Structure formats: C-alpha cells, structure tokens
C-alpha cells in the first residue's frame, strides 16, 4: 500500500498529526496499532500543570510557563516542537472539537483547578464544558453525588480529601448517594450502564429528583459534582438537560479509566476522521523500517495474521509509550521497534523505577532522541531517516505524568511533526 504521509499511533499526537495533514489538503493514512493510551488518561488536555515533576505548586498560566520552560531547557520536547506549534495545534484542536460536535473551553492563558475522582485538585488547560463548574477558583459549596452499586466513584472519599485541600468551612464539601430507579438493591453498575440509562428522560428525572432533595436542604447555592456518566452518545444534550432539571450548576468528574469522557472524546474524533475521508488501518503493529540513502522507504505492519508493507513519502511515528508499541522493554534494554536502536540499558529492570510511587519514575523519560526537526536521532545526533518524524510520549527527555503535560506535548509535537512531514 502507498500513501502520501503515513501516521502511526493511537493517541492524541496521532490524531492531531492526521488532522493537520488533512486540513492542509494532504491524504494521510492513519495506522492505528490497537489499544489507545487515551482511554487510560484523564479526559482533559493538560499543557503544563507543574513546572517540574517535584513541584507541588500548580502552574497558573500554562502558555507563559511553557515559554519559560523552552528558554531554560532548549533540549526539551516543547523546545524542539516550538511554542508556535503548541499555539497553532491548540487552535486546530479546539476548532476540530467544535466541528465534531463537542463543547470545550479553556486556553493557554489559564489553568483551571478541577477535582479528581479521589478529591485532589488537578490543573487542567482545556476541558469539556460539562466539567467547568467544578472550578475550585469558585466559592460555591460542593455536593459530590455517588450512586449505590457504582464503585468507580466514592463520594465520601472524594469529599474528605477535597475538604482538606480546598474546603471553605464545615459544609463546603458534602457527599450524598442516590439509588437508581427500577433496580434491586445490590445491583452493580458500570460507567457504560449509567451513561446509557441517563439518556432516558424518565430515568434521568427520577435520579434528578433524588439529588435535588438531598443536595440542598439548607442552601440553594450549591454546585453538584457527579461521575462523568451524563450520556454515552448524546452527552451534550444529556448534560444540559440534567443541569436544567436539577436547577444547580453541575460538573462531571472523570472516573477510573477507561472513563466515559475519554471514550466519548477519542472515539468521536477517530470516527470524524473516517467520516471526512481519512483512511485508517486498524489493529496493525508497525514493527520494522526499511532504510536506504538516509530515508525510510517502507515500514512493515503485522495485520490480521500477515505482514503488510506501507510505502509513503514521509512518516509520522506518533507513538506514546509501551501501550501502542513505541518501546519494547526487555530484561536489560529498551529498544525501538522501527530502527532497533537501544534507547536505554539497565543492569536490572528495577533501575527503571523508583521505590516510591510519589517520586518521578526513570522509565517515564525513556524514549527516542530527536533532532531539531523531530527526526529520530542516531548517537551522533544525525537523523536515522530524513523523512521520519516523531511525536507524542515516546520522545525522550521529559516526564509527562509528573508535570501534567502529556496533552500539550502531544498537540505540539503532533502538529510540528505533520508540518515537517509535508516539507519532506
């Protein structure tokens, strides 16, 4: 199979790179390796939540903080991609979300502190409209609502933790629970079950009535946090109707992954690419690259029990980490599957981790070295292939988890890689 530009990946970087190529009038081929890391991350776009992995002070202005990071660390992936790529990529994403039927808010000017499912404040740059009322910069008391038989959100735990970190008084954060109409006690529910059920108007009305009775017996000025299950397919309508029927500001809280918010977002964007003419090869692991004269001539996919070569003028490897096959970890070495370069070597595998879960993990910064054009770099700094460009979490030199920057880096590197691929 031949293509103009082939994009390999199943995360936000791959989606941004593909959309950038499509908007520029190219005909990209998206190779989707299989399991997406997007289902296992928080359903907001984090550009820069903390200045480094050891900081406890949230970043207030992510755009300004990224500019300072680039000035101080010229080898950081943000510096390689460039601030313009981040700005233009964010603009492209927000426009795309609106075209695909989503309502999102936020900008590079300000991070919002939003509560997580365990009640910890989390800085977020871009976020669904259905989460905005959770802004911890607001003063209204918060009522966290759980559901009997649903174990992915424990409102009592979240309320206790949030009271300690944000509480504005004894009643500033409270927890309540409601039962679901028509089900026997002891019934267990998944996020998908709840999301589908709440699309039914009569079912939703009975749930709303319970919440209204319990949420504000002493005060009308409260906002209600619920697990992110307000609709599976018609989420915007369900959220707006739920809030209108309840008569209080409502905000969704992403639950344990895979969350409904993540499923809504990334499945819809992927389908939108298909609906607008992008060809996608599903469940195909790319495992080798053929090189000659400093260029990649083709890559090989393992798809449906056979090997399939892909020839393209340029390639964007928009891979995230071990999830979609960007890195192959053995006992001693971490190797990339395309060029078979050793990216890290350890005497024992435990050298890749820290004993404390709350400290930066060495494995998080393992990845490909890149040139100033985001090409994979050899040991001497020269590109392994002039027409291959990298994007996403598999680039070396940063910790996207500790700094809460995975989304922003995916956008900046995906956008820049696409621009470089077109130039190549």
258: in domain: no
* pLDDT confidence of residue 39: 65
Is 114 among the domain residues? Answer: no
Instruction: Over range 10-31, report the average pLDDT.
Output: 95
Indicate whether 318 and 184 sit together in one domain. no
- Average pLDDT over every residue of 257-283: 88
At residue 42, the pLDDT reads: 65
Both 236 and 268 in a single domain?
Answer: no
Could you tell me if residue 129 is inside a domain? no
Residue 115 resides in a domain: no
Give percent above pLDDT 70 in the chain: 93
* Judgement on whether residues 270 and 242 belong to the same structural domain of the protein: no
Q: What is the pLDDT of residue 162?
A: 96
* Count of domains forming the chain: 2
Is residue 324 over pLDDT 60? no
Q: What is the pLDDT of residues 81-125, one digit of tens each?
A: 999 999 999 999 999 999 999 999 999 999 999 999 999 999 999
Same domain, 70 and 156: no
Is 70 exceeded by the pLDDT of residue 156? yes
User: Span 186-215, mean pLDDT?
Assistant: 93
pTM above 0.75, yes or no: yes
Position 25 in a domain = yes
The share of the chain scoring above pLDDT 90, in percent, equals 66
* 204 found inside a domain: yes
Same domain flag for 362 and 302: yes
What's residue 271's pLDDT? 92
Instruction: Kindly tell me if the per-residue pLDDT of 67 is higher than 90.
Output: yes
Residue 21 lies in a domain: yes
* Residue for token pair 């992936």: 77
Q: Which of 218, 248, 278 is the last residue of a domain?
A: 248
What pLDDT, on the 0 to 100 scale, is given for residue 182? 87
Does 224 share its domain with 273? no
Indicate if 55 and 147 belong to the same structural domain. no
Terminal Cα distance for the chain, rounded: 19
Residues 180 and 275 in one domain: no
For residue 146, the enclosing domain spans 141-248
Q: Which of 186, 217, 248 is the last residue of a domain?
A: 248
pLDDT tens digits, one per residue of 38-59: 666 667 999 999 998 888 899 9
Residue 415 placed within a domain: yes
The residue out of 194, 223, 248 marking a domain boundary is 248
CATH of the domain at 345: 3.50.50.60
Q: Do 353 and 291 fall within a single domain? A: yes
**What's residue 326's pLDDT?**
60
Once rounded to an integer, what is the mean pLDDT over residues 183-196? 89
| Mean pLDDT over the full length of the chain | 90
Q: What is the pLDDT confidence band of residue 138, given thresholds at 50, 70 and 90? A: very high
Please write the tens of the pLDDT for every residue from 350-367. Answer: 777 777 766 767 767 778
């Amino acid at each position: 199979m031949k293509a103009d530009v082939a994009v390999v990946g199943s995360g936000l970087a791959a989606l941004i790179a593909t959309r950038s190529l499509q908007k520029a009038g190219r005909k990209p081929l998206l190779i989707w390796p299989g399991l997406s890391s997007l289902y296992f991350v928080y359903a907001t776009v984090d550009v820069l939540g903390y200045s480094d992995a050891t900081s406890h002070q949230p970043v207030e202005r992510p755009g300004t903080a990224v500019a300072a990071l680039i000035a101080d660390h010229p080898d950081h992936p943000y510096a390689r991609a460039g601030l313009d790529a981040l700005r233009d990529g964010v603009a492209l994403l927000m426009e795309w979300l609106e075209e695909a039927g989503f309502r999102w808010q936020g900008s590079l000017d300000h991070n919002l502190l939003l509560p997580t499912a365990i009640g910890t404040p989390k800085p977020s740059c871009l976020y669904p409209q259905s989460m905005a009322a959770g802004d911890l910069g607001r003063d209204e008391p918060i009522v966290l609502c759980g559901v009997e038989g649903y174990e992915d959100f424990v409102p009592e735990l979240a309320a206790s933790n949030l009271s300690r970190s944000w509480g504005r008084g004894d009643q500033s954060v409270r927890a309540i629970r409601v039962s679901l109409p028509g089900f026997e006690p002891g019934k267990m529910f998944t996020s998908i079950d709840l999301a589908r059920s709440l699309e039914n108007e009569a079912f939703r009305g009975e749930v709303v009535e319970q919440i209204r009775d319990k949420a504000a017996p002493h005060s009308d000025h409260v906002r209600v946090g619920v697990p992110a299950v307000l609709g599976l397919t018609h989420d915007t309508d369900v959220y707006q109707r739920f809030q209108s029927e309840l008569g209080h500001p409502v905000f969704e809280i992403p639950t344990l992954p895979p969350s409904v918010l993540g499923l809504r977002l990334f499945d819809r964007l992927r389908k939108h690419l298909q609906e607008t003419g992008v060809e996608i090869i599903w469940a195909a692991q790319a495992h080798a690259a053929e090189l000659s004269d400093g260029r990649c001539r083709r890559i090989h996919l393992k798809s449906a029990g056979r090997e399939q070569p892909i020839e393209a003028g340029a390639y964007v490897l928009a891979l995230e980490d071990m999830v979609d096959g960007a890195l192959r970890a053995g006992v001693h070495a971490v190797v990339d599957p395309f060029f078979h370069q050793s990216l890290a070597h350890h005497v024992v595998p435990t050298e890749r981790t820290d004993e404390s879960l709350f400290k930066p993990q060495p494995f998080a910064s393992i990845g490909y070295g890149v040139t100033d054009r985001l090409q994979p770099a050899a040991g001497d700094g020269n590109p392994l292939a002039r027409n291959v460009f990298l994007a996403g979490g598999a680039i070396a030199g940063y910790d996207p988890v500790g700094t809460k920057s995975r989304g922003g880096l995916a956008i900046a590197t995906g956008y820049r890689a696409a621009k470089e691929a077109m130039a190549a």
